[in-house]
Amino acid sequence: MHFDAVGDELAVHEFSQLQESGFDVARLQPAVARLAAGEGGDANALLAELAASPRVPGWPWDETDDPAPAIPPSPVDPATLPDRIHGAWLGRAAGCLLGKPVEGWSWPQIERYLERAGIEAVEDYLPRLEPDAEQPPFNASGEVGTFRGEIDGMARDDDVDYTILALTLAERHGSSFTTEDVAAAWLRCLPYHQVFTAERAAMRNLVNGMAPAEAATTRNPYREWIGALIRADLWGYVKPGDPSAAAALAERDARLSHTANGIHGARWAAALVASALVAGDVAEVVARARAVVPDRSRLAGALDAVVGWHEAGMTFSEARDAVVRDYGHYSDVHTINNAAMILVAVLWGEGDFTASTGLVVRCGWDTDSNGATVGSVLGALLGREAIPSVWADPLRGHVRSAVFGEATNSLDDLAARTLALLPAFSV
C-alpha cells in the first residue's frame, strides 16, 4: 500500500472508513471489490458516490470532533519532574525500538517468533533470528540497528520524528501555535516519503495548495488511523498534570490530518502522558486520561471495554483476544484497536516498565507506535532512574530523526529543551 494519491486505493479505504463510521455504503460493495481486485472501475466517480452516502439510521455513536468537558489539573512536584520528563523521552525511544522490527505483525506471528527465540517474557530488545518459511518479513525500515546486540543509539522512526518536530514547533511558537503552524512545520521539516497514511494524504493536499482546514478531509481515508495519536506525546510533556490542556494542544495538532476518533486518540495519548508525569499509579493515569475522550465516541467504548475486562479479572491473553475479536476489523494502524491494545498493556503491565512494553509488543499490529506510547507513559510515571539499563544502555543517550535540522539529538538535550518550555506553557 502506498497511502498516496492513488485513486483505486483511496476509494477502497474510503469505503472502509465510511462503513466503519456508520454510513450506508453497502450498495457500493461490488464496485469496491472490483477495484480492490484490479478489475477496473472509475475510482473518482466511486469516491464521489461514497461522499454522498447517508448515515445509517440508529447509528449509536457520536462521531463529531467535539471534546469532552475539561477536568481540573493535578499538583506538580517540581523536584521529580526533570527525572520524569527524561524518563518519558527515554521510554518513548526504547519502547519504539523494541517494537520496530515486528511492526505490522499479528500477535500470533510475534508469539511464534518469541517461541522460536526461547523467550517467555519480553525483557530485552528482540534478537535477530534467521527467517523461516512461516515468518513474515521484518519491517523494511526496522532491520537496521534495532535488534539486540546491533543497537547503536535510537534508530530513526516517524514515531520519534513527530515528538521532536512538536518540540521544535513549541519552541518556535509557544502555546499559541495554530494548526496552520503545524502545516508549515511539516512542509519545512518532513520528507514526504517519511510520513505515512493520513499524514501523507494531508501533506499531499498542502503541497497542492489546499488550506490546512481542508487537508484532513480531502482524499484522506486514513483520517481515523493512528497518526495523530503518535504525534501527541510532546503536548503531554509540556502540560504535566493537566490532561485537558494537553488534550487541547494535541487536538490543535491533530486537526491537520484527522477527524473524530483520530482526534480523540491524540487527545487521549497526550492526556495519558500528562497524567503520568504527576500520578502515583497506573489507575490514576488511566482514569484521568479517559476523562478527555467524549463518552459517546467509539474510542470511549473500546477503552471502557478494556477497563471492564481488567476489573472482571481477565488474563492478559484473554484481553488481547477480546480486542482482536471486537476491534480486529479495523486497519492494523487504526486508532481504536491500537489504543485498546495500548490500554491492555498499561493495565496488565501493572506499572512495570519492562512488563508493559513487552506486553504491548506481544499484542501485535502497530508495535513500534504502541511501544513508543506505552514506554512514554511508563517512563513518565516511573522516571528515568527507574528504567532498567537493559533498555537505556544500548541507546547511548542518542536519537536519530528525519526532521530537518534535528538529525541527531541527545536524550538529555531533548529533556532539557522540554523542561525549558514549561514556563511558557504554564499560563
- 366 located within any domain: yes
Identify which of 54, 36, 115, 97 has the alpha carbon closest to the alpha carbon of residue 398: 97
* Cβ neighbours for 351, distance < 8 A, ≥ 6 positions apart: 281, 282, 378, 381, 382
Tell me the C-alpha distance between 338 and 29, whole Å.
Answer: 26
Cross-strand bridge partners of residue 408: 400
Query: Is 65 flagged in the annotation as binding?
Result: no
pLDDT at residue 142 is higher than 80: no
Answer yes or no: do 34 and 148 share one domain.
no
pTM exceeding the 0.85 threshold for the entire prediction:
yes
Q: What is the CATH number of the domain that holds 255?
A: 1.10.4080.10
Same domain, 169 and 289: yes
The confidence score (pLDDT) of residue 284 equals 99
pLDDT for 6 beyond 90: no
Greater confidence (4 vs 176) lies with 176
How confident is the model over 378-392, as pLDDT tens digits? Answer: 999 999 999 999 999
* Span 215-237, pLDDT tens digits: 999 999 999 999 999 999 999 99
Q: Kindly tell me if the per-residue pLDDT of 25 is higher than 70.
A: yes
Whether 182 maps to a domain, the answer reads: yes
CB neighbourhood size of 318 (10 A) = 11
- What is the rounded distance in angstroms from the CA atom of residue 108 to the CA atom of residue 120? 14
Q: Establish if 309 belongs to a structural domain.
A: yes
Q: Tell me how far apart the alpha carbons of residues 53 and 265 are, in angstroms, rounded to a whole number.
A: 25
Tell whether 42 is covered by a domain.
Answer: yes
Q: Are residues 337 and 257 in the same domain?
A: yes
Smallest CA-to-CA distance from 235 within 255, 220, 207, 216 is with: 255
Indicate whether 21 and 137 sit together in one domain: no
Instruction: Decide if 76 is inside a domain.
Output: no
Do 25 and 95 belong together in one domain?
no
Residues 272 and 317 placed together within one structural domain of the fold: yes
- The phi, psi pair for 65, rounded to 5°, reads -95, 5
Residues 252-300 have pLDDT tens digits of: 999 999 999 999 999 999 999 999 999 999 999 999 999 999 999 999 9
Q: Is 424 exposed, middle or buried (0-12, 13-18, 19+ CB in 10 A)?
A: middle
Q: Are residues 35 and 112 in the same domain?
A: no
Same domain, 105 and 11: no
- Same domain assignment for residues 211 and 129: yes
Q: Which amino acid is at 275?
A: S
**d(C-alpha 277, C-alpha 376), whole Å:** 10
**321 assigned to a ligand binding site:** no
| Residues forming beta bridges with residue 398, ordered by sequence position | 410
Q: For residue 7, what pLDDT band results from cuts at 50, 70 and 90?
A: confident
Structural domain boundaries enclosing 47 = 7-51
Give the chain's length.
427
Across the range 330-348, mean pLDDT stands at 99
Same domain for 139 and 15, yes or no, is no
Residue tagged 538535550 (cell numbers)? 413
Residue 67 within any structural domain of the chain: no
Is residue 234 domain-resident? yes
Report helix angle 158-173 to 179-189, nearest 10.
120
366 is annotated as contributing to ligand binding: yes
Is 369 assigned to a binding site?
yes
Instruction: Report the alpha-carbon distance of residue 39 to residue 215 in Å, rounded.
Output: 30
Q: Are 275 and 288 in contact (CB under 8 A)?
A: yes
Whether residue 85 sits in one domain with residue 30: no
> 70 lies in a domain?
no
Q: What is the pLDDT of residue 139?
A: 80
Per the annotation, does 410 bind a ligand? no
The CA R_g of the chain, rounded to the nearest whole Å, is 20
37 and 161 belong to one structural domain: no
What is the number of structural domains in the chain?
Answer: 2
